[in-house]
């Protein structure tokens, strides 16, 4: 398995166009954005005052970087990257030479692990760059730079950082598994990306559908099934880490009764893990049944 992982890693990072436009765009984009903001704030006092209203403490910006991984527009890039990784052999017609030398489940698992690891490494670098830029910017504009490193550590920064990183990893596990299923089914980067985006959009938009079902038919228990959808459980974990409470769902159960329900962090982690394992298993099953000759 190690040599399969190494081969997949080398093949992925050597694709400069793919990695450059879907992964390294985040750390390089931070540097570019910082230079643009510095340039325009130097030209406009009003823009400077507007920019200074933001919380530029380095600890705040360090943690906010991980929050951004849950934004749908950002996840589009993650899905495109994962779809390209899973569809590479279809595009290059190389499955016929690779499959006889390894088990199919190992090939899919290796791709999945490379996607997760590369995104994690990228956002560790990105978050550190964001913290550095925030520290320099707060000093430049005369704002509160935030606590010292020792104070931040004593206040639980490492625990918060690892918790938010874990949420992002679970999020990437979800979108990567969507991309794997879609790409292995369509055997196309474009088709896989579009199909995975549709699945992800359905995941995010399904609360509206479930609530409409409740309003039209009174199916309260169907509406409450949203508690078992990945998007809710990711938001629930983020809420637990950020504010220390669950992300509650309130559902009218009658004229004078409103039921508020939520999950514990452990329950959300378990639900997300089941979704990821099930999706990866589905992707492997699809691939095992394919004729790649």
Q: Which of 195, 194, 228, 198 is nearest to 210 (CA)?
A: 228
- The number of beta carbons lying within 10 Å of the beta carbon of residue 93 is 9
Q: Are 183 and 286 in contact (CB under 8 A)?
A: no
Half-sphere exposure of 26 (CA within 13 A, CB side): 25
Task: Give the total number of structural domains in the chain.
Answer: 1
Strand partners, 261: 249
The whole model's pTM is what? Answer: 0.84
Judged by phi (left if over 0) then psi (alpha if -120 to 50, else beta), residue 4 lies in alpha
Residue at 273 is within a domain:
yes
Give every residue of the chain whose pLDDT is below 50, as ranges: none
Residue at 39 is within a domain:
yes
Residue at 255 is within a domain:
yes
- The rounded distance, in Å, linking the Cα atoms of 223 and 244 is 25
Strand partners, 260: 250
What is the model's pLDDT at position 118? 92
Q: Which helix (H) or strand (E) holds 261?
A: strand 258-261
Q: Which of 203, 195, 213, 188 is nearest to 271 (CA)?
A: 203
The tokens for 120 are: 């994690």
What is the model's pLDDT at position 251? 63
Domain of 208? Answer: 2-288
Cα torsion through 278, 183, 69, 199, rounded to 10: -70
Q: Which of 161, 202, 168, 170 is nearest to 74 (CA)?
A: 168
Q: Are 268 and 236 in contact (CB under 8 A)?
A: yes
- The number of beta carbons lying within 10 Å of the beta carbon of residue 188 is 16
The tokens for 33 are: 């954005």
What sign results for the dihedral spanned by CA atoms 93, 97, 100, 105? negative
Coil/strand/helix, residue 23: coil
Residue 37: C-alpha distances to residues 55, 72, 128, 271 (Å): 15, 24, 18, 41
Q: Which of 63, 58, 59 is nearest to 139 (CA)?
A: 58
The tokens for 97 are: 């030479």
Residue at 293 is within a domain:
no
DSSP state of 293: -
Tokens 């910017």 sit on residue: 137
Q: Are 37 and 140 in contact (CB under 8 A)?
A: no
Strand partners, 259: 251
The DSSP-derived string for 73-85 is: HHHHHHHHHHHHH
Q: Which of 71, 77, 75 is nearest to 19 (CA)?
A: 77
């Amino acid at each position: 398995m190690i040599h399969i992982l190494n081969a997949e890693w080398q093949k992925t990072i050597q694709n400069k166009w793919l990695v450059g436009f879907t992964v390294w765009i985040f750390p390089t984009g931070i540097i570019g954005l910082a230079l643009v903001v510095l340039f325009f704030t130097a030209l406009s006092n009003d823009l400077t005052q507007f920019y200074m209203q933001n919380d530029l403490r380095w600890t705040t910006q360090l943690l906010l970087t991980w929050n951004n991984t849950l934004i749908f527009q950002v996840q589009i890039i993650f899905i495109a990257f994962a779809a390209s990784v899973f569809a590479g052999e279809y595009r290059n017609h190389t499955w016929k030479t690779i499959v006889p030398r390894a088990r199919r489940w190992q090939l899919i698992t290796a791709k999945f692990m490379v996607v997760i690891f590369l995104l994690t490494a990228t956002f560790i670098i990105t978050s550190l760059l964001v913290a550095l830029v925030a520290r320099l910017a707060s000093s430049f504009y005369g704002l509160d730079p935030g606590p010292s490193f020792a104070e931040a550590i004593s206040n639980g920064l490492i625990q918060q950082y690892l918790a938010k990183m874990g949420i992002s990893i679970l999020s990437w596990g979800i979108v990567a598994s969507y991309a794997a299923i879609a790409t292995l089914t369509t055997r196309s980067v474009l088709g896989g990306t579009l199909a995975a985006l549709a699945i992800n959009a359905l995941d995010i938009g399904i609360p509206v559908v479930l609530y409409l079902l409740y309003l039209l038919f009174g199916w309260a228990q169907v509406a409450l099934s949203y508690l078992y959808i990945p998007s809710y459980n990711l938001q629930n974990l983020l809420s637990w880490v950020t504010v220390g409470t669950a992300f509650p769902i309130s559902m009218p159960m009658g004229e004078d009764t409103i039921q508020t329900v939520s999950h514990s962090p452990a329950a959300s982690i378990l639900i997300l893990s089941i979704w990821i394992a099930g999706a990866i298993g589905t992707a492997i099953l699809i691939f095992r049944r394919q004729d790649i000759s």
